[in-house]
A and B are shown apart, each in its own frame.
Chain A
Amino acid sequence: MPVLIGTALFLWMAGVMYGAFVYAPPAEGLGETSRLIFLHVPVAWTSVMAFITSFVYSILVLRRNRHEDDIRAEVAARMGLWYCVLATITGAFWAKATWNTYWNWDPREISIVVLLLVYMSYFGLRSAVTDPDKKIRLAAVYAILAAIIMPFLVFVVPRMYMSLHPDTLINNSGKSQLADVRMKQVFFFSLAGFTLLYFWLFNLSVRIERLVRRKEGWNV
């Protein structure tokens, strides 16, 4: 069964690649660089999903105080961190292609960098606490605090900032470029593929992490 799921996912992602590079036409005005949307948006979406997963399991850590929940919170955060790095890099390439600079501190770039910093601080904190029973609680508290603050950054700051700096206004997401129906198909096919891939990797990583902790002598 796991082999079957793995193979199906592999084929799906191969289909995404084919769709992104061959099937979908380039967007008008942007040319070939527009194909980045099929990679960048799903990756960013996945990093947000991982962040939410980590948040939910952090709440469970505080409520039930189980290491099993902490494994999931940590694994989700670790995956979120890598997806976040990927989203930042692909985003920078896209920025270069559309606005001709890799980086210009536009609100969306600010929020992704802060998300990156939150993840790194989360792991910094984890490695600085020795007592595991204390570690899982403090890490959970930090993850939850970051999640409480995130909406301010993601929803509120861009509005205020943009109204003040109309010059750095970005194109209103990828939607206008998804004019072609084939692009729409590939986009949602890719989004679904990345989402499934996330859950598959998450499940696998949780099992690995559990084994690692057992080997280190944790009681899980």
Chain B
Amino acid sequence: MEKIVTEAVGKRFGPHLIFEEISFEIARGGSVCLWGPNGSGKSTLLKIMAGLIRASSGNVTYFAGGKSGKPGQFKNLFGMSAPDVRLYDELSPLENLEFLRRSRGLSEDTKYESELLEQFSLTEFAKEPIENFSSGMRQKFHLIGALAHRPAALLLDEPTSFMDEAGRRQTAEIIAGLKPASLLAVATNDPAERAWCEATIELRK
């Protein structure tokens, strides 16, 4: 993916204006942190960038392989991890990953998936329903879900807030490894996560 362009995006919930006229661009290798107090609309903006919510005004456009369009047209090129993008509680990590893989129409190659599970020390729980997971383990697994199809762009909403020290280190390492070739947007209040990014968009309340 070459770039993601966010153009004069605004969102209202009825009479309440959350934000307006937000414009920025992330190019390959670039990274942006969405920074701001609770309720400033970081998560909403990230969801608009992922095509999960419709903006009240403005556009988000993806550019990849000579084509451009809405996020929904590039589903296999980006991954997202956010508190309200959840995976299936009754299913085990392996079953969840299989569902994601088949729904995306990807090949049955599971090598990278096992590597990720190993890196986040979830291999021994790979066959247990994730409803038994702690919130930190669950967050790790959500991140794995966002990474498993090797996306070119990553949209992350407080990806490590519940993780232990080892998990945070692991996440930072993986992101550092991916960064040169991919696009990154992180909505966060955590200075450590902010440090992954070169640019910062500040949202005010």
Contact = CB atoms under 8 A, between A and B. Distances in A.
Interface of A: 65, 130-134, 137, 216-219
Contacts of A216: 14-15
A132 B57 contact: no
B204 interface: no
Given A65-B54, A133-B53, A219-B56, 9 more contacts: A131-B13, A132-B13, A132-B14, A133-B55, A134-B54, A137-B54, A216-B14, A218-B12, A219-B57
A219 B12 CA distance: 8
Report whether over half of chain B's contact residues are helix, strand or loop; otherwise say mixed: loop
13 contacts: A65-B54, A130-B13, A131-B14, A132-B12, A132-B14, A133-B54, A133-B56, A217-B12, A217-B16, A218-B12, A218-B14, A219-B12, A219-B57
Contacts of B56: 132-133, 219
Nearest to B55: A133
Nearest to A133: B54
A133 B13 CA distance: 8
Interface in B39-80: 53-57
Contacts of B13: 130-132
A131 B15 CA distance: 10
B15 A217 contact: yes
A218 B15 contact: yes
Contacts of B12: 132, 217-219
Interface string B9-21: 0001111100000
Nearest to A65: B54
Contacts of A130: 13-14
A130 B54 CA distance: 13
A131 B55 CA distance: 11
Nearest to B14: A132
Nearest to A134: B54
B2 to A, nearest CB: 26
Contacts of A65: 54
A137 B16 CA distance: 19
Contacts of B55: 133
A218 B53 CA distance: 18
A63 to B, nearest CB: 14
